[in-house]
C-alpha cells in the first residue's frame, strides 16, 4: 500500500524538478494528506519576561516531509496558500496547540499565528470557541497572533467578534509590528493587548539609529496604550540589554531558545530556571 503510494509519487517526480508546477501540485496533495493524518508538528519557542520567567510560548508549524526533510513555514505556507489550504492549516495548528498546551507542566500562555482563520469570516468566534471547549484549556491562556496587514482593513462586525472572544479571556497580538501599515487607530480600537516588535528592528537596533528609534517608539506606544510589548528575534545580550533599557516587557529569540519540538519544550518547562528567579532574588527586574 505504502510502496504503491511512493511508487506513484516517484513516477510523478521523475519527469519534473523541484519547484515545477507538478512538484507544487504533489506537495499540495502531500499537505492535504499530512493535515488529515496529523503528520505536521508544532515547535514551541519560549517568550521570556523581564525576570526570566517563561510566560508564553509561540507555536510554529513544522512538516517532517518523508522525502524533503523538515519543512518550515515559508514552504508550508506557500503550499497551503496556493492549494487553498490556509484555513485547514490554521485550524489544525489551533486545535493541536491548545490540546498540547493543556498537558504542559505549568499553565503558561500559548500563542498561535492565524492568517487563514480570519476575524472577518462569519464563524470566526465559533471556530475559536469550539477549539477551546474541545481542548479544555482556559481561554486566558490563548493568544492569537495576527499580522497588522490582516487587521487594518477589518470592518465593524469582525472587530465585534474579536471583542466577544476577548471578553472570554482570549488575547490578541499584533505580529510583526512596524512592517505593515502600523495603523495606530487600529491598535487603539482593536482588542490587541500585545504588540510584537518585528525582528528587523531588533537586528538593526545596534547599528542603525532609525531602527533604534522605531524600537523605542513602539515600546513607548505600547506602554502609553497599556499594551504588552514583546520583541522578536532577540539573538544576543547587547540587544537584550538595549530592549530592557527601553522598557520591553518580554523577549523571544535564539538568545533564549530556538523553537523546540513539543517534548523538548515540555522538558524545558519542567526545569526550575524556566519558572523565573529563585526565592532570594524574586521580584528583581519585574516590569
Ligand atoms: P513569526 O510569527 O514572526 O514567528 C517568528 C519567526 O522568527 C519564526 O520563524 C521563528 O523561528 C523565527 N525566530 C525566532 N527567534 C529568532 C531569532 O532570534 N532570530 C531569527 N533570525 N529568527 C527567529 P518560522 O518558524 O520560520 O515562522 C515564520 C513565519 O511563518 C512566522 O513568523 C509566522 O508568520 C508564520 N507561521 C509560522 N507558523 C505558522 C502557523 O502555524 N500558521 C500561520 N498562519 N503562520 C505561521
Ligand atoms: Mg508570530
Ligand atoms: Mg512575528
Ligand atoms: Mg516576524
Q: Mean pLDDT throughout 73-83?
A: 97
The residue contributing the CA closest to ligand 1 atom 41 is: 61
Question: What pLDDT does residue 271 have?
Answer: 86
235 pLDDT higher than 80: yes
Note whether 158 and 178 are within 8 A (CB): no
Statement: residue 6 has pLDDT above 50: no
Q: Cβ neighbours of residue 200 under 8 Å, at least 6 residues apart?
A: 178, 179, 211, 233
Which residues form ligand 1's pocket by a CB distance below 6 Å? 45, 60-61, 72-73, 77, 90, 93, 113-116, 145, 175-176, 199, 232-235, 252-254, 259
Atom of ligand 1 nearest to the CA of 115: 44
Residues bordering ligand 2, an ion, CB closer than 5 Å: 113, 145, 175
pLDDT at residue 18 in the model: 58
Report how far ligand 3's centroid is from the alpha carbon of 243 (Å). Answer: 16
Q: Report pLDDT for 94.
A: 98
Checking ipTM against 0.95, whether it exceeds it is: yes
251-259 average pLDDT score: 98
* Nearest ligand 1 atom, CA 234: 18
Atom of ligand 1 nearest to the CA of 86: 44
Share of the chain above pLDDT 90, in %: 74
The arithmetic mean of pLDDT across residues 8-36, rounded, is 71
pLDDT, mean of residues 129-157: 92
CB burial of residue 17 (10 Å; 0-12, 13-18, 19+): exposed
pLDDT band with cut points at 50, 70 and 90 for residue 149: confident
Closest CA to 112 of 175, 199, 54, 55: 175
Amino acid at each position: 500500500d505504502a510502496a504503491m503510494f511512493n511508487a506513484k509519487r516517484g513516477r510523478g517526480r521523475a519527469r519534473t524538478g523541484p519547484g515545477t508546477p507538478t512538484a507544487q501540485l504533489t506537495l499540495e496533495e502531500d499537505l492535504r494528506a499530512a493535515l488529515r493524518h496529523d503528520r505536521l508538528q508544532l515547535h514551541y519557542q519560549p517568550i521570556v519576561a523581564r525576570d526570566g520567567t517563561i510566560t508564553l510560548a509561540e507555536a510554529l508549524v513544522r512538516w517532517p516531509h518523508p522525502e524533503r526533510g523538515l519543512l518550515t513555514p515559508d514552504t508550508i505556507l506557500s503550499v497551503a496558500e496556493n492549494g487553498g489550504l490556509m484555513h485547514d492549516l490554521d485550524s489544525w495548528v489551533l486545535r493541536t496547540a491548545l490540546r498540547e498546551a493543556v498537558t504542559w507542566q505549568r499553565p503558561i500562555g500559548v500563542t498561535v499565528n492565524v492568517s487563514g482563520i480570519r476575524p472577518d469570516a462569519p464563524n470566526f468566534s465559533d471556530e475559536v470557541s469550539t477549539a477551546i471547549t474541545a481542548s479544555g484549556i482556559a481561554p486566558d491562556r490563548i493568544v492569537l497572533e495576527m499580522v497588522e496587514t490582516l487587521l487594518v482593513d477589518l470592518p465593524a462586525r469582525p472587530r465585534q467578534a474579536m471583542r466577544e472572544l476577548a471578553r472570554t479571556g482570549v488575547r490578541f497580538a499584533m505580529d510583526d509590528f512596524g512592517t505593515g501599515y502600523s495603523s495606530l487607530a487600529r491598535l487603539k480600537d482593536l482588542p490587541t493587548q500585545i504588540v510584537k516588535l518585528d525582528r528587523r528592528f531588533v537586528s538593526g537596533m545596534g547599528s542603525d539609529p532609525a531602527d533604534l528609534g522605531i524600537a523605542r517608539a513602539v515600546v513607548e506606544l505600547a506602554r502609553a496604550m497599556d499594551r504588552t510589548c514583546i520583541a522578536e528575534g532577540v539573538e544576543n545580550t547587547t540587544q537584550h540589554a538595549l530592549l530592557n533599557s527601553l522598557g520591553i516587557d518580554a523577549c523571544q529569540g535564539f538568545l533564549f531558545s530556538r523553537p523546540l519540538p513539543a517534548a523538548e519544550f515540555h522538558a524545558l518547562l519542567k526545569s526550575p530556571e524556566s519558572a523565573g528567579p529563585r526565592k532570594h532574588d524574586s521580584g528583581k527586574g519585574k516590569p
